Amino acid sequence: MSRMRKRGSMSICAAFGAVGLAASLASGTLHGSNTLVPPGAARYAPSAFPERIVALPDADPATSFAVAWRTDATLASAVLEIAEVRSSPDLADAARTIRAVSTKLQTENGVAYYHHARISGLKPEALYAYRVQGAGTWSEWFQIRTAAAQPRPFAFLYFGDAQNSVKSLYSRVIREAWRREPRAALAVHAGDLVNGRAGENDTEWGEWFDAGAFLHASLLTVPAAGNHEHHDREVDGRETYQLAAHWPAQFPLPRNGASGLPHTTYSFDYQGVRFIVLDSTSALKSGSAATQAAWLEPLLEHNPHRWTVVVFHHPVFSASLDRDNSHLREHWAPLFERYGVDLVLQGHDHVYARGQGLFAAGTRDRGTKPPVYVVSVAGPKQYRVSEEAQSAMARHGENTQLYQIVRIDDERLRYESWTVAGELYDAFDIEIAPEGAKRFVDRAPSTASRRCPHLQTRSGRTDRCWDGTEW
């Protein structure tokens, strides 16, 4: 009797599986879904309510920042209100109004207006509340603190690629990061926030903003553009990469970057740290590595701060199989080494790897302190660590969703990488000695490097642990 029931249940499952496969075939999704939205549904169509609200750094985060948001096409011109925080709820009575700049964008989810406002003239180290306008409505009030004008201790979060199944599987990563470090001032994203590329990706962006929810509006988001934020097209027989329209519309970043790259390269100083964001996709695909290096060098040479963090997408030292970005090593890495960059934060390889002093002997300027190069992954697409990286990197891992917390004060940079299950996977300090020299202290736990248990993924890939989409 039990065997008969078992056969019956398997038949029912097979029948439902056939129906599911037929639906997948009809919708063109043979290998799982990249979003939680069924084909044909308009879950992220724009509306009169303001949404996708994100706070971004301006050139001087002690006195200014930017905010971007989206509405439907019924609101072509919008405003933001901001007031210094008080204990009473009458924020609107004390608020000043700032007119936004609005950009129209047509996507598969309809026509929307992306609005952004740059807020300046703020007090350093002060708590502000702001809200943004919709069509006949407002957002909630968000609170955000400006940076101090002088070095002060603070923490920031760092995420590798989210990219796939963002609402389903990446959301838990950013939320766990915030749970562990709720006072973080910044969230650094090292590219490939969404899968994108083909242009029909507004639903993916909807899920990315949904995954972080109010966090995007409550701490400064620091994004680097990845290859999946670009469209790859063939023009005159050559593959070209063009920045997707969503990026400049929803991320009004500081306009102080390298020549020709106003939307994807920028820098700012935050409480004793110089942050520099580069565009590795343009460097590798459009030949801008030298141009970016020319912009980068003065920022490093004339840096008044003790700490320097550089962010971009493609790793200088690749960690996954069959990848190598020698152009970045040629143009950028010598500058990182010469001027003592502390952290180089990257994505793209869908594994974890951390290394220091990775140049061959004799290529590094004598007496300089090499930076710590880190590659991490926050989303579900998981690759395999190459044998070369296993030999060269001090810490590495596969098949693991991670987030990083970096805490900085005047004398120490403390780095921690955590799995989404709450396990400390990697840790180190960079300490400044009384005489000014920097000392690296490895605090990595003694646990074994995490390895992929699968010989191949469900799609048959042997270079991956997980394809990134759910079945």
pLDDT of residue 172: 98
pLDDT of residue 100: 98
215 vs 194: CA distance, rounded Å = 17
**Helix and strand numbers, DSSP H then E, in the chain:** 11, 26
Contact 466, 457 (CB under 8 A): yes
pLDDT of residue 343: 98
pLDDT of residue 234: 72
Residues 6+ apart with CB under 8 A from 129: 82, 83, 84, 85, 91, 141, 142, 143
Q: How many CB atoms lie within 10 A of CB 291?
A: 19
Residues 6+ apart with CB under 8 A from 334: 363, 365
**Backbone φ, ψ for residue 92 (5° rounding):** -65, -30
Contact 463, 322 (CB under 8 A): yes
Regions of the chain short of the pLDDT cut 70: 1-32, 198-199, 359-369
Give the burial class of 289: count Cβ atoms within 10 A of its Cβ; 0-12 exposed, 13-18 middle, 19 or more buried.
buried
181 vs 416: CA distance, rounded Å = 11
Nearest to residue 23, comparing CAs of 41, 9, 45, 6?
41
pLDDT of residue 4: 37
Residue 68 in 3-state DSSP? strand
398 vs 376: CA distance, rounded Å = 10
pLDDT of residue 369: 63
Residue 243 in 3-state DSSP? strand
Cα four-point dihedral sign 455, 459, 463, 465:
negative
Residue 81 in 3-state DSSP? strand
Residue 242 in 3-state DSSP? strand
**Angle, alpha carbons 90-94-96 (nearest 5°):** 130
pLDDT of residue 238: 74
**Backbone φ, ψ for residue 216 (5° rounding):** -60, -30
| Global model pTM greater than 0.85 | yes
pLDDT of residue 459: 87
Compute and round to an integer the Cα radius of gyration of the chain: 23
324 vs 138: CA distance, rounded Å = 48
Domain boundaries, the chain: 51-145, 154-466
Q: How many CB atoms lie within 10 A of CB 241?
A: 18
Distance set, CA 213 to CA 135, 172, 183, 204 (Å): 20, 12, 16, 14
Q: Say yes or no: do domains 51-145 and 154-466 share a fold.
A: no
Domain made up of 154-466: CATH architecture: 4-Layer Sandwich (3.60)
pLDDT of residue 232: 81
pLDDT of residue 198: 67
Residues 6+ apart with CB under 8 A from 393: 317, 319, 353, 354, 355, 385
Domain made up of 51-145: CATH architecture: Sandwich (2.60)
| First and final C-alpha spacing in the chain | 32
